[in-house]
Chain A
C-alpha cells in the first residue's frame, strides 16, 4: 500500500486540464493506507466529511500517481467549487424556453458507504461453453433479457458512473439476466440487491428504478450487440436494457469480495469503447439530455 502526498493547490485552473480518472472505491474490511487523518486534514471537511470510509484505494498506486502528477488542479477545484459553478455560468448553460426538463439529482460520493460481503459465485467458463449455455437457455425460455442499472454519483463536480469490475479485467454495469416471467423492474431490483446490497433476496424496496435509457440487441449467439434490431432479424437472442437508478442522499453499498466497485467519470467513458465496450462507453450519450443537479449538503 503506497503513500502519497496531496499537492498544494496552484493559483489558477489551466484552460485544458487533464481528464478525470477512475476512482476505485475500497471496502471497509480493508483498511486503506490513508484515512481522514494527518495527510488529508486540509481537505477532510470537503472531501471526507468526517466519515471513516475512504474513496480512493491506495493499492492503485498507478491511478493516484497519475491523478496527482497530471491533475493536481483537482484539489483547487474542491476549494473553488462554489465560485466557479456560480450563477453566471448557469445563465450561460441554461436554455431559453427549455422543453427538455430532465433534471437528475446526484449526490457526492462522500455521502455513500462501501463495505464487502462474501464473494459471488461467478460462472468460470470458456466462450464456447457460454454460447452453449445461452443456446440451451434460449431453447427453453426464448429471448434472454438482461437489465442493467446506470447509477451516478458526483465527484469533482462531474458525474461518475458506478461500475463493477470482474477479475481486474472487464467492466459491467450492475444487473443481470431476468428469470422467466420476471418483470424488468423487479428483476433489476433483485440483481442490484444481490450485487450491491446486503439482502440477497430482499424486497428490493430500497432501489428506485427510473426510465429506460437504451436497449441493445444481440441478433445471434455469437454476434455483437447493436442499439437497434438489425433488419431481417426476426428472432434476436438477447436484449439488454439500461435503466436509470436514482440514489437516495445516502446509502450503504455492500459488494461481494470478488468484485470491485468503481466510480468512473463520464469524460473517461466517452468514446472509450476499447476499455469499456460499446454499451458502457455509450452511457454518457444516453445521459446527455439530463442536467445534473449536484446536491451538496
Chain B
C-alpha cells in the first residue's frame, strides 16, 4: 500500500486527466480519498500551444516610482482608494507551472493587470486590462478570458511602495487594494504583446523566495497556488 500513488495526482500528465486512479484500491483508500478535501484544478498547457505576436508599444504612465506615487495621490484625492486587479496566467514547461510576467526595461516585472475605473466590476475590469495588455487589436482575435478565483489581496497603507497581505492594524484608509486572480487559459490562445514589453514565462521555483528580483507580491505566488492541483496537459 503506497501512499505516494494516491498523492501523485497533483502532477498528472495527460489529456483531461482529472486525477490518478490506482487499479487496486482498498476500500479504506477509496473511503479515505472521498474524505479528502478536493483541491481546485487548473489545467496548464505547454507554452508551445500558444502563439505570441506583437502590437504597438504601450508606454508606462510614470517614468519613476516617485512620479507613480504622486499620481496615485492625485487619483486618491479624486476617486478614493485605488483598486487594482492582476492576473496569474499559467502555462507548463517540463511539467512545472510557469507564470506569465510582463517585463519592462531590463529588470522590472509585473503581472498583467491594472487599475479599475471607479465603480467598475473586478472581473470586467480585469478582462479589459488583459485585453489591453495581451490581446491583439483585431476583434476576431480577442481571447475569451476565463477569470478564476481570487488567490490573494494586498493592501497599500500609505503612498509608499510597501504593501501587506492584510490591512495593517490602525489603518482605516488604505490607499490601494490589489487583488490577484487566477486566469484559466484554454488550449490555444493568441497573445499580442506591446513592442516595448517582454513576456516571460517564469517557473514557480524561480519565483519562490526571490523577493529581491520579483518583489513580495510576485515572489509569494507559489505559496498562494500551492493548494491547487495542476494538470499538466500535453498537446
Determine if A95 and B177 form an interchain contact, defined as CB atoms under 8 angstroms apart.
yes
CA distance A289 to B167 in the complex (A): 11
Determine if B153 and A97 form an interchain contact, defined as CB atoms under 8 angstroms apart.
no
* B interface bracket (residues with beta carbon within 8 Å of A): 35 or more
Which of A19, A73, A228 touches B225 (beta carbons < 8 Å)? Answer: A228
Determine if A212 and B227 form an interchain contact, defined as CB atoms under 8 angstroms apart.
yes
CA distance A19 to B122 in the complex (A): 31
Write the A150-184 contact mask toward B (1 if CB under 8 angstroms, else 0).
Answer: 00000011110000000000000000000011111
Shortest distance between the CB of B56 and any CB in chain A (Å)? 30
Contact segment of A33-41, A43-51, A213-221: A213-221
CA distance A265 to B3 in the complex (A): 36
Smallest CB-CB separation from A90: which chain B residue? B172
CB contact under 8 A between A288 and B154, given known A159-B166, A212-B39, A267-B168: yes
The reply to whether the CB of B29 lies closer than 8 angstroms to some CB of chain A is yes
Which of A20, A92, A157 touches B174 (beta carbons < 8 Å)? Answer: A92
The reply to whether the CB of B128 lies closer than 8 angstroms to some CB of chain A is no
A to B CB contacts below 8 Å, 15 in the list: A77-B170, A92-B174, A97-B121, A100-B150, A142-B1, A142-B4, A183-B31, A214-B223, A215-B226, A267-B169, A278-B209, A282-B220, A287-B166, A288-B152, A289-B179
Shortest distance between the CB of B229 and any CB in chain A (Å)? 10
CA distance A84 to B174 in the complex (A): 13
Determine if A285 and B152 form an interchain contact, defined as CB atoms under 8 angstroms apart.
yes
- Find chain A residues with CB under 8 A from B167 CB: 93
Contact segment of B89-97, B106-114, B134-142: B89-97
CA distance A186 to B170 in the complex (A): 39
**Residues of B in contact with A (beta carbons under 8 Å apart):** 1-5, 7, 10-11, 26, 28-29, 31-37, 39, 80-81, 83, 94-97, 116, 118-124, 147, 149-154, 164-170, 172-174, 177, 179, 181, 203-205, 208-209, 216, 220, 222-227
CA distance A156 to B170 in the complex (A): 9
- Find chain B residues with CB under 8 A from A180 CB: 1, 3
CA distance A67 to B6 in the complex (A): 48
Determine if A185 and B172 form an interchain contact, defined as CB atoms under 8 angstroms apart.
no
- Find chain A residues with CB under 8 A from B222 CB: 226-228
Determine if B39 and A286 form an interchain contact, defined as CB atoms under 8 angstroms apart.
no
CB contact under 8 A between A96 and B119, given known A183-B31, A184-B35: yes
Determine if A288 and B165 form an interchain contact, defined as CB atoms under 8 angstroms apart.
yes
Shortest distance between the CB of A139 and any CB in chain B (Å)? 11
Which of B5, B95, B173, B216 touches A231 (beta carbons < 8 Å)? Answer: B95
CB contact under 8 A between A84 and B172, given known A93-B81, A99-B123, A266-B166: yes
- Find chain B residues with CB under 8 A from A98 CB: 122
Determine if B122 and A97 form an interchain contact, defined as CB atoms under 8 angstroms apart.
yes
Shortest distance between the CB of B197 and any CB in chain A (Å)? 26
Determine if B94 and A271 form an interchain contact, defined as CB atoms under 8 angstroms apart.
no
Shortest distance between the CB of A87 and any CB in chain B (Å)? 11
Determine if A211 and B208 form an interchain contact, defined as CB atoms under 8 angstroms apart.
no
Determine if A102 and B150 form an interchain contact, defined as CB atoms under 8 angstroms apart.
yes
The reply to whether the CB of A243 lies closer than 8 angstroms to some CB of chain B is yes
Which of B4, B81, B166, B181 touches A92 (beta carbons < 8 Å)? Answer: B81
**Residues of A in contact with B (beta carbons under 8 Å apart):** 13, 17, 19-20, 73, 77, 84-85, 89, 92-93, 95-100, 102, 141-143, 145, 156-159, 180-186, 209, 211-216, 226-231, 235-236, 239, 241, 243, 265-267, 270-271, 278, 282, 284-289
- Find chain A residues with CB under 8 A from B152 CB: 285, 288-289
Determine if A95 and B122 form an interchain contact, defined as CB atoms under 8 angstroms apart.
yes
- Find chain B residues with CB under 8 A from A286 CB: 223-224
Which of B28, B31, B205 touches A230 (beta carbons < 8 Å)? Answer: B205
Shortest distance between the CB of A267 and any CB in chain B (Å)? 6
CA distance A142 to B5 in the complex (A): 9
Determine if A100 and B94 form an interchain contact, defined as CB atoms under 8 angstroms apart.
no
Determine if B4 and A143 form an interchain contact, defined as CB atoms under 8 angstroms apart.
yes
Shortest distance between the CB of A284 and any CB in chain B (Å)? 5
- Find chain B residues with CB under 8 A from A282 CB: 220, 223
- Find chain B residues with CB under 8 A from A181 CB: 1, 26, 28-29, 32
Shortest distance between the CB of A246 and any CB in chain B (Å)? 14
Which of B28, B37, B164, B172 touches A270 (beta carbons < 8 Å)? Answer: B164
Which of B10, B205, B224 touches A285 (beta carbons < 8 Å)? Answer: B224
Shortest distance between the CB of A200 and any CB in chain B (Å)? 21
CA distance A84 to B28 in the complex (A): 53
Smallest CB-CB separation from B10: which chain A residue? A229
Smallest CB-CB separation from B204: which chain A residue? A228
CA distance A190 to B116 in the complex (A): 46
- Find chain B residues with CB under 8 A from A89 CB: 172-173
CB contact under 8 A between A92 and B173, given known A142-B4, A270-B166: yes
Which of B33, B34, B36, B208 touches A227 (beta carbons < 8 Å)? Answer: B208
CA distance A283 to B48 in the complex (A): 35
Shortest distance between the CB of B214 and any CB in chain A (Å)? 14
